[in-house]
């Protein structure tokens, strides 16, 4: 009995297992591992013909898993606990599966599993992967004997089901009240996801993301104001320093609820990052997202009122000059670093460097320029793999190693500015991205994580400066992806040109799919109740009338198609069989008369057939038997009908 699942329902088992794998990024690793362990247990029983566990054992394990999930999540309400329990339950059901009567419940669990994925993400890739799984799960609802007897007929029937289901699903999506966003807002504990950086940045912490290709956001600009070198998306302002480490300082100065933009300059489709940062382009003054509240301080650092646990569609507008900085903020960002732990000679060397920087001028702009010149003229280098250096001191970086990633240079420059009595802070976010010319949007990934500096200028306003522009200008001009390819792959000039233009086949295909996926996500996020009403207004319909009309129309189409199919199958195969026999009988002038039934016609042929053709009578009797059975038997399946027609054609050819 342990072989029945993989022997008779192999496709079903594969579907449920694949649905479990798709949920791997969205549930705790222990839940996923436990579900996989039950599948491995079942495989062990299958290959070694061991007895599967009793229902008492699997029932106890399911109760235990439910208790552990409740203890771990502190609730059973939410996407993660629900998906975790379904994964474990499906694994246990597969483990105890021993009877055909349990198949439908396993299919139901499969539907729950694959549908659970869309509570976490409705990325187009998941939709493509889920379609064959839905199809095979639906096919497993058919009688097992039917599928086993005629897989072709089952596939054809599945196709008819899909043809009916797709327009019905589309109509329901358009007409039924919008619930997509509500489903995505189901609470989640999501302690396992994170954005590309935490509240503290130390040397080497951002460089670790250089190999992380996960998408952070897609950005669509509605003007040509920005080039790649201008694409800075600020997320967190780090104002508390300790040597080369910088930390976000929580404060509540001037928190304002952001208004909806009157004129939208760019869109952002932001992936869930389980933090409250909203990443904004330089000059952004307003941001809004349906279903979410976005706040900003007087310095226009934007953040959500909650952790972002769902994909957000953000509209933003750009403005001109920023307001002046308050005295409280100036004081907070003027705190000089403490170097008392350094040896006296190192302290002296740092102080001498600051004196040299200040000798060029006392204005913030001149001091900033002098620091940049110091980096560019003293053989500082940019490295993609500096390693973790949380204990790195400012002295060691400036006078000993002279190499680092963006966070090294941003931290050092901000410290030097503060030592020069200029308020400064480190900004972390993202820079650059990959432009998709097919969809006219930018894709920003975790590997584009970046750090730069903001200081208060002579007009008492924050201005941005990026020291990487002087130590590795190609990183800013070309973006991380291209710069990384040049450094690691040693690309030729022609290869660089092809990559920039996206002319290679793989790049074009990747851009095409990314463009379709972006439009798909945008459509789902934007299609709300208001847009639903706008569509109906074009046809002068209310939502209730439209819903009734669509359901009646779909029901009528469904009935007509089913009636036509049944009548067509019965009529067509029977008629074709008759025509084959009648065509053969015409050779002997023995075609069927209108008043004759099949049995009478057969007897007339048998008595009138020439002696030399009498040997064909047994075959003829078989052909008539197949035809009569097909014409008058109500329960004959399409595959059996087709088989009868094929056999009659073979018999008639021999005659």
Q: Categorize the per-residue pLDDT at 421 as very low, low, confident or very high, splitting at 50, 70 and 90.
A: very high
Residues spanned by the domain of 314: 200-472
Q: Is residue 24 domain-resident?
A: yes
Q: Are 363 and 458 in contact (CB under 8 A)?
A: yes
Answer yes or no: is pLDDT of 604 > 80: yes
- 158 & 254 share domain: no
Q: At what angle do helices 124-139 and 10-22 cross, to 10 degrees?
A: 150
Q: Is residue 500 domain-resident?
A: no
Answer yes or no: is pLDDT of 388 > 90: no
> What is the pLDDT, as a whole number, of residue 380?
92
> What is the pLDDT, as a whole number, of residue 280?
92
Instruction: Please give the mean pLDDT across all residues of the chain.
Output: 81
- 127 & 63 share domain: yes
Answer yes or no: is pLDDT of 495 > 50: yes
- 125 & 260 share domain: no
List, for residues 442-472, the tens digit of each pLDDT value. 889 998 999 999 999 998 889 999 999 999 8
d(CA 432, CA 448): 6
- 177 & 249 share domain: no
- 172 & 242 share domain: no
> What is the pLDDT, as a whole number, of residue 570?
45
> What is the pLDDT, as a whole number, of residue 145?
60
Answer yes or no: is pLDDT of 369 > 90: yes
Query: In sequence order, what are the residues at sequence separation of 6 or more whose Cβ sits closer than 8 angstroms to the Cβ of residue 449?
Result: 196, 197, 206, 209, 428, 429, 430
> What is the pLDDT, as a whole number, of residue 371?
95
Q: Are 539 and 546 in contact (CB under 8 A)?
A: yes
Answer yes or no: is pLDDT of 593 > 80: yes
> What is the pLDDT, as a whole number, of residue 279?
92
List, for residues 179-236, the tens digit of each pLDDT value. 544 444 444 444 334 455 677 888 888 888 877 888 889 999 887 667 788 889 998 8
> What is the pLDDT, as a whole number, of residue 273?
81
If one counts the domains in the chain, the total is 3
Q: Is residue 503 domain-resident?
A: no
- 36 & 162 share domain: yes
> What is the pLDDT, as a whole number, of residue 253?
66
- 409 & 550 share domain: no
Burial status of residue 264 (CB atoms within 10 A of its CB: 0-12, 13-18, 19 or more): middle
> What is the pLDDT, as a whole number, of residue 454?
94
- 120 & 223 share domain: no
Kindly state the average pLDDT of the residues 388-414.
89
Q: Is residue 522 domain-resident?
A: no
pTM above 0.75, yes or no: no
- 233 & 325 share domain: yes
- 29 & 161 share domain: yes
Query: In sequence order, what are the residues at sequence separation of 6 or more whose Cβ sits closer than 8 angstroms to the Cβ of residue 9?
Result: 97, 103, 106, 140
d(CA 411, CA 106): 56
pLDDT above 90 coverage of the chain, percent: 15
Supply 302's token pair.
Answer: 């934007």
Answer yes or no: is pLDDT of 76 > 80: no
Which of 472, 489, 521 is a domain's end point? 472
Q: Is residue 114 domain-resident?
A: yes
Which of 446, 472, 498 is a domain's end point? 472
Kindly state the average pLDDT of the residues 82-97.
88
- 142 & 229 share domain: no
Q: Is residue 512 domain-resident?
A: no
d(CA 569, CA 613): 33
Q: Is residue 206 domain-resident?
A: yes
> What is the pLDDT, as a whole number, of residue 119?
76
- Helix, strand or coil for residue 622? helix
List, for residues 233-264, the tens digit of each pLDDT value. 998 889 988 888 898 887 766 788 888 888 88
Q: Are 74 and 28 in contact (CB under 8 A)?
A: no
Which of 452, 472, 492 is a domain's end point? 472
Q: Is residue 484 domain-resident?
A: no
- 550 & 635 share domain: yes
> What is the pLDDT, as a whole number, of residue 411?
93
DSSP 324: P
């Amino acid at each position: 009995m342990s072989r029945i699942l993989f022997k008779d329902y192999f496709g079903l088992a594969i579907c449920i297992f694949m649905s479990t794998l798709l949920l791997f990024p969205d549930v705790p690793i222990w839940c996923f591992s436990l579900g996989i362990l039950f599948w491995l247990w079942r495989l062990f029983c299958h290959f070694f013909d061991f007895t599967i566990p009793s229902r008492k054992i699997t029932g106890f394990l399911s109760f235990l898993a439910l208790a552990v999930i409740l203890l771990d999540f502190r609730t059973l309400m939410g996407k993660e606990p629900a998906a975790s329990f379904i994964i474990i339950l499906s694994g246990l059901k597969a483990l105890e599966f021993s009877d055909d009567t349990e198949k439908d419940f396993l299919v139901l669990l499969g539907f729950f599993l694959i549908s659970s994925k869309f509570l976490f993400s409705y990325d187009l890739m998941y939709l493509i992967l889920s379609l064959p799984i839905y199809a095979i799960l639906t096919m497993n609802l058919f009688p097992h004997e039917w599928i086993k007897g005629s897989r072709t007929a089952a596939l054809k029937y599945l196709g008819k089901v899909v043809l009916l289901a797709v327009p019905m699903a589309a109509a329901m999506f358009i007409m039924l009240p919008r619930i997509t966003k509500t489903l995505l807002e189901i609470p989640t504990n999501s302690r396992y996801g994170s954005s590309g950086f935490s509240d503290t940045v130390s040397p080497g912490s951002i460089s670790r993301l250089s190999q992380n290709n996960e998408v952070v956001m897609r950005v669509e600009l509605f003007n040509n104001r920005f080039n790649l070198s201008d694409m800075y998306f600020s997320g967190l302002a780090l104002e508390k320093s300790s040597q080369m480490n910088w930390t976000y300082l929580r404060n509540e100065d001037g928190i304002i609820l952001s208004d909806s933009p009157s004129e939208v300059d760019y869109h952002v489709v932001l992936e869930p990052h389980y933090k409250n940062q909203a990443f904004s382009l330089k000059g952004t003054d307003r941001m809004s997202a349906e279903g979410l509240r976005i706040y900003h301080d007087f310095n226009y650092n934007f953040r959500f009122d909650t952790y972002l646990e769902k994909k957000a569609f953000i509209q933003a507008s750009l403005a001109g000059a920023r307001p002046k900085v308050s005295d409280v903020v100036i004081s907070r960002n003027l705190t000089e670093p403490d170097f008392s732990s350094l040896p006296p000679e190192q302290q002296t060397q740092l102080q001498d460097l600051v004196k040299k920087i200040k000798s060029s001028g006392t204005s913030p702009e001149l001091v900033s320029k002098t620091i940049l010149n110091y980096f560019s003229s003293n053989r500082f280098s940019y490295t993609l793999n500096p390693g973790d250096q949380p204990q790195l001191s400012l002295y060691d970086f400036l006078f000993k190693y002279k190499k680092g990633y963006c966070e090294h240079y941003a931290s050092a420059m901000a410290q030097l500015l503060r030592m020069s009595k200029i308020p400064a802070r480190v900004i972390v976010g993202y820079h650059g991205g990959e432009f998709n010319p097919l969809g006219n949007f930018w894709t920003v990934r975790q590997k584009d994580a970046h750090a730069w500096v903001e200081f208060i200028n002579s007009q008492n306003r924050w201005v941005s400066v990026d020291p990487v522009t002087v130590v590795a200008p190609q990183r800013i001009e070309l973006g991380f992806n291209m710069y990384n390819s040049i450094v690691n792959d040693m690309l030729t000039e022609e290869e660089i040109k092809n990559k920039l233009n996206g002319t290679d086949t793989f790049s074009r295909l990747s851009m095409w799919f990314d463009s379709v996926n972006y439009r798909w996500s945008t459509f789902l996020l934007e299609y709300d109740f208001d847009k639903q009403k706008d569509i109906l207004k074009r046809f002068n319909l209310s939502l209730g009338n439209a819903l009734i009309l669509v359901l009646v129309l779909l029901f009528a189409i469904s009935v007509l198609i089913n009636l036509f199919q049944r009548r067509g199958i019965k009529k067509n195969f029977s008629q074709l069989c008759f025509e084959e026999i009648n065509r053969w009988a015409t050779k002997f002038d023995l075609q069927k008369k209108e008043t004759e039934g099949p049995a009478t016609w057969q007897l007339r042929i048998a008595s009138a057939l020439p002696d030399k053709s009498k040997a064909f009578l047994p075959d003829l009797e078989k052909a008539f038997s197949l035809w009569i059975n097909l014409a008058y038997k109500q329960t004959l399946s399409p595959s059996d009908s087709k088989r009868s027609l094929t056999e009659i054609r073979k018999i008639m050819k021999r005659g």
